[in-house]
Chains A and B, each alone.
Chain A
Amino acid sequence: MRIWFQRAFPWLRARSRVPDLVCQQVVELVTDYLEGALSAADRQRFEAHLAGCPHCTEYLAQMRQLLRLAGRLTAEDLTPDMRSDLTDLYRQWRAEGGPRSGA
């Protein structure tokens, strides 16, 4: 229905078009875009801007790179001291009645 309408009255579509996004707006929408939180219309405007803007494309690529780097950060391994402390803690809990001691 909508497609038919747009085909029949292309001038109407052009007139009602919302203004294009500028770079300064795009960088503020990057997280919403990556989170899938933009409306379909805003996502379209966002992607239309990217298609013509190498700088914002780079900005988004850098954001994705940051996420890759963050996801690769490993946590430190357990120290022997902490491991033995936690094992003690477990045994103490078992001595108190363990799973049957309740909350």
Chain B
Amino acid sequence: MESDGDLLRRLRAGDEGAFVTLVDRHNGAMLRLALSFVSSRAVAEEVVQDTWLAALRGLTAFEGRSSLKTWLFSILVNRARTTGVREARSVPVADAGPVVDASRFGPDGAWAEPPEHWIEEAENRIDAVKLADLLRVLLDTLPARQREVVLLRDVDELSSADVCQVLAISEANQRVLLHRGRAKLRQALESELGGAPR
């Protein structure tokens, strides 16, 4: 696969094919990220298009200090946030306390109601497409900021430093959001898939 760097060089030289390849490579993840900020698909598509145009216009300024993907995501988040605020979707929700319900532990802090098994269920018994759909639905139920971090980190597999750059948050904040988001997803998968006969 041709690297983003090579494609950028071709793009700078005026090669339309390079642009199409870059779009094919990154547009899906950009749209998914945009949908995490704004509520309608039409608006999300608009945000993604704006991002591509801004990227083209800023092409000469892109110095390659971050990866192209991180750079594109950063532009997108800036734009989506402005739009998202207008749509007033992302109201910050106070979220504190333990990530696993305290009632599941005894007074000594040991599991009283241990995790139900579901890994085998997820690996072998459930259709991969159904499982992916389930995970998408569950991701969508996360509070916005947790969803953004989990999406970038665990779905798009950016490094924690890149996630911090894209969302303009601190490393510590990123880890808290990631921790809470992942724990909620694990719990949701347990609720959906757990307790099946093994």
Task: Bin chain B's interface residue count.
Answer: 35 or more
Check B117 for interface membership: any CB of A closer than 8 A: yes
Q: Nearest chain A CB to B140's CB is how many angstroms away?
A: 12
Pair A67/B49 contact, Cβ less than 8 Å: no
On whether the beta carbons of A66 and B53 are closer than 8 Å, the reply is no
B23 contacts chain A at the CB level, 8 A cutoff: yes
- Smallest Cβ-Cβ distance to B176: which chain A residue: A31
**A98 CA to B53 CA, complexed, in Å:** 11
B19 contacts the other chain (CB 8 A): yes
CA distance A74 to B186 in the complex (A): 19
B136 contacts partner chain A, Cβ-Cβ < 8 Å: yes
**A90: contacting residue among B19, B115, B118, B135, CB under 8 A:** B19
Contact residues on A (Cβ < 8 Å of other chain), bracket: 35 or more
CB pair A89–B182 under 8 Å, yes or no, is no
Evaluate contact between A77 and B28: CB separation under 8 angstroms.
yes
The reply to whether the CB of A80 lies closer than 8 angstroms to some CB of chain B is: no
State in angstroms the CA–CA spacing of A35 and B182 once bound together: 13
| Residues of the B chain whose Cβ atoms lie less than 8 Å from the Cβ of A62 | 115, 118-119, 186, 189-190
Interface of A, helix, strand, loop or mixed by DSSP: helix
CB pair B186 A99 closer than 8 Å: no
Q: Roughly how many angstroms separate A102 CA and B109 CA in the complex, as a whole number?
A: 60
- Closest chain A residue to B28 by CB distance? A75
A65: chain B residues within 8 A (beta carbon): 119, 122-123
Q: Tell yes or no: A70 within 8 A of B by CB.
A: yes
Q: Could you tell me the distance between the alpha carbons of A85 and B52 in the complex, rounded to whole angstroms?
A: 11
Asked if B179 and A99 sit within 8 Å, CB to CB, the answer is no
In the complex, what distance in Å separates the CA atom of A101 from the CA atom of B179?
A: 44
Task: Give chain B interface residues in 73-120, CB to chain A under 8 Å.
Answer: 98-100, 102, 105, 108-111, 114-115, 117-119
20 A-B residue pairs with CB within 8 Å: A23-B109, A25-B109, A27-B99, A28-B98, A31-B182, A31-B183, A32-B175, A32-B179, A56-B111, A62-B186, A66-B186, A67-B182, A70-B154, A71-B157, A74-B28, A82-B27, A82-B48, A86-B49, A89-B49, A102-B60
